[in-house]
Structure 1
Amino acid sequence: MDDITWGAAQYTCTLLGYSLQKGGAGVELLKTVKQLEAHMSLTRKLMRLGNSAEAVEAAKRAVHLSDSVLRLCLTVAHLNRAMYFACDNVLWAGKAGLLPNLDQEKWSLRSFRYYLFALILNLTRDAYEIRLLMEREARSSHGGSKATWNSSPPSPLENGALPYPQSSSSLPPAALSLLSQRLSRQFQLLVTVLRSNPPLLLDLLKNTCDVFIPLDRLGIYPSGQGFVGACGLASSVLSILTIVHPWLKLKP
């Protein structure tokens, strides 16, 4: 939990620095906040020295999962986390002066690439589990019949009566109405599934918050210091919740 607590403090400093900068705070105060953030980041890296081994062990356990999709997503995600932590360890050695000639920028980018790929796989796993639960919910709510999105009468789109591609403005009113009903049912199923599965909801929210951090650092989707700080803080709070209440942690 120490790493998560320090992470919350680090991103709080990031958010605070952004707010102070926008508010026109003095240079010395901004410098102090940035130094504090850098210190907390270095401390987090020190606390992660054993995390690579833990991620490898988690990957070994995931290999034995019966579901092939979960097995692939979780195993590769854990291996990428192991590489991410290993890069973080190298960065710590560089920042601590043990590797004075280390190209920290290169290793930082490498670290965030592994982190991003692990998060993409985690989000894929969340989407897969949501899909399975939505199908199960649709079957149970229709007395064992096919899923909701398969139980409606065939539309002109399914019968191929309309040429492809078609814009929504050119669809007949009946097709638009059917499409709207299907989207509404899908959304209702999604809400029902997430409301009845808090661990899955928290994991989805946490991974969604986390993914903006490497996207910003890699320059793929620059979102700014304030947004990154808010996402990092929200992710840390969600992680603390899963530690305080272990039943909220998504398994496996």
Structure 2
Amino acid sequence: MNLDKWVQLNSQTAGRDKVARLVQYTSRALWDLLESADMSPALADSFKTVEYILSTFRKLLRFGRCVDIFYSSLRTIHYPDLTIRVTLTLSKLSQSLFLLADHFMWLARTGLFKDINSKRWGEFANKYWLLSIIMNLCRDVYEIFRLLDLRRASIKSGITRVSDSNSPLRVSSLRDFNRLALHSFALILIHKDVAVDTIKNLCDLFIPLTGLGYTKLSPRTIGLLGAISSAAGLWALLEPTAKLTPV
């Protein structure tokens, strides 16, 4: 990453949040790895402290964002494509409720309000975070099927285009299957926004599922999934072509 990209990333609240998230989940994976190997308890405790501090920092960084996200959902309800309109609007509304619960959890951590039940608000946050991710995945599946429909339409016409170049691929026999598979992979690379968003949401899916007790993944696995998801989110911030729109 060059200096200009780093400055660009650091100038955005979302960028700082993604960097902090990457370190947070990496720290979770590391302390669980150290504890499982019965190595350096002091270092494991240090990584736990880093994870907790960054988690709290991110909650503060997002404070008030529930209003912004809710307001943005008022724009998506007018999007012309019905599937994107429904999935995106429901995702934003769920994310807004998730952040609202997250704000209460931050207030509980500060000790300013001792009557706040952080466990109950944590379950509330995970439920709406899970719903938001499910809506995002439904949108990803829809985008994938749209790309497949485009490819099928081009195959029916005898040509599959994978770039803006004038080099067509004719599908006339089984010998072209490998070339077709290669060009299909190239199609995914061209539409990397869909691929990046799908990977990010698939990794995120298991975090609230584990938080709610539906899956029982180790902290190390959750840390790895969170780190991969954070890296995908950073890529989308740094590379405009890797960002799925509208958002």
Deviation at 1:144, TM superposition (A): 8.4
Q: 2:195 aligns with which of 201, 223, 230?
A: 201
Residues 2-11 or 23-32, more deviating = 23-32
Task: Determine the C-alpha separation between the residues in 2 that align with 1:66 and 1:215.
Answer: 32
- How is 1:10-25 mapped onto 2 (pairs within 5 angstroms)? 10-25=24-39
**Which residue of structure 2 aligns with residue 141 of structure 1?**
155
Match for residue 50 of structure 1 among 64, 73, 83? 64
Q: Given the alignment, which residue of 28, 33, 43 partners 1:29?
A: 43
Provide Cα deviations, 1:152-208, integer angstroms capped at 9, x if missing partner.
xxxxxxxxxxxxxxxxxxxxxxxxxxxxx9xx99x9597454233100000000001
Equivalent position SS for 1:102? coil
**Equivalent residue runs for 1:1-252 within 5 Å:** 1-143=15-157, 188=181, 191=185, 193-252=187-246
CA distance in 2, matches of 1:190, 1:96: 51
Instruction: Give the Cα–Cα distance (whole angstroms) in 2 for the partners of residues 62 and 27 of structure 1.
Output: 49
- Is contact 2:30–2:44 with CA below 8 Å preserved after alignment? no
Q: Secondary structure at the match of 1:131?
A: helix
Task: Output one character per residue of 1:46-74: Cα deviation in whole Å (capped at 9) or x when no partner.
Answer: 00013212211321121111111110000
Query: Which deviates more, 70-79 or 242-251?
Result: 242-251
1:44 deviation in Å? 0.6
Determine the structure 2 residue equivalent to 1:150. none
Q: Is the 8 A contact 1:11 1:230 kept in 2?
A: yes
SS of 1:220's equivalent? coil
Cα deviation, residue 216, structure 1: 1.0
Q: Whole-Å Cα distance in 2 between the matches of residues 35 and 27 of structure 1?
A: 12
8 A Cα contact 1:134 1:190, kept in partner: no
State the alpha-carbon separation in 1 of the partners of residues 188 and 127 from structure 2. Answer: 29
Q: Which moved more, 1:32-41 or 1:91-100?
A: 32-41
CA contact 2:34–2:41 (8 Å) conserved in 1: no
**1:122-145 deviations in whole A, cap 9, x for unaligned?**
000000111111111101121189
Q: What is the TM-score with the length of structure 2 in the denominator?
A: 0.81
Whole-angstrom distance in 1 between the partners of 2:187 and 2:145: 9
- Report the number of matched residues: 214
8 Å CA contact retained: 2:70, 2:93: yes
Alpha-carbon shift at residue 231 of structure 1 (Å): 0.5
Give 1:31 deviation, angstroms.
2.4
Alignment gaps of 5+ in structure 2: 1-14, 160-173
- Residue identity matched to 1:67: D
Give the superposition deviation at 1:214.
Answer: 0.6
Give TM-score scaled by structure 1 length.
0.79
Find the structure with the greater CA-based Rg.
1
Secondary structure of the 2:116 match is coil
Contact 1:76-1:118 within 8 A present in 2 as well? yes
